[in-house]
Amino acid sequence: MKLIIAIVQDKDSSKLSNALVEADIRATKLSTTGGFLRAGNTTFLIGVEEDKIETVLAIIKESSQKREQYMAPPINLDSPMEATHTYPIEVQVGGATVFVLPVDSFYHF
């Protein structure tokens, strides 16, 4: 048994939750504060047997790895005519930080 702690962006949180449920893997979500350190992240606690670790890591990677996304740029309110010249900009979203911790013992009461 290992304990996987995965920290993902809020925007990827329900995608990851759904993927874990589908794979029949139980997880607990911890809310993060609205603070300025990694604000808007969700922490998952996932207990897994050794032979499921690779599966869980693949699910986390698939659900939340860093990727490029195109968004509409913010509209310049000072010169709204400029808006007609704007193009979508590329931004980086997602990303996960994952710790796999050893577990001395595990109980289910």
Interface residues with its own copies (CB under 8 A) are 1-3, 5, 7, 13-14, 17, 20-21, 26-33, 35-38, 41-43, 45, 47, 57, 60-61, 64-66, 95-109
* Choice between 22 and 90, CB closer to its own copies: 22
Q: Positive or negative CA dihedral for 10, 14, 26, 4?
A: negative
Q: Label residues 50-73 b or e (16+ Cβ within 10 Å = b).
A: eebeeebbebbeebbeeeeeeeee
Rounded least distance, CB 11 to its own copies, Å: 14
| Residues facing residue 91 across a β-bridge | 69
Rounded least distance, CB 33 to its own copies, Å: 4
* Choice between 18 and 76, CB closer to its own copies: 18
